[in-house]
Amino acid sequence: MDEHADGTARRWSKTSEAEKAVRRGLSEPVRETLQRAVRETAAAAVSDADFFEQLATAGLRVKQRIAPDGNVTGYSVAMPGDP
């Protein structure tokens, strides 16, 4: 691994994700759909609360990781029905 990599680069879909999309009749892997939705929502949101509200309104499952002090330290998103 490159010692300068910080882990924020785009992750490309795996073959199995592409095959799953084809089986489900989707035009692209779910990972790509989620990445686009999060990027677009982040660009339009005016606050953290607005960001998470817009994701939920779009029908995405959102799970926030909250530190003991109450600050959001991260989040995960998933399509409805996906684990």
What is the C-alpha separation between 13 and 3, in angstroms, rounded? 23
Q: What is the pLDDT at residue 81?
A: 78
Question: So where are the chain's domains?
Answer: 15-78
3-state secondary structure of 61: strand
Work out the average pLDDT over 12-33. 75
- Residue 72 sits at φ, ψ, to 5 deg, of -75, 125
pLDDT 10s digits, 36-69:
999 999 999 999 999 999 999 999 999 999 999 9
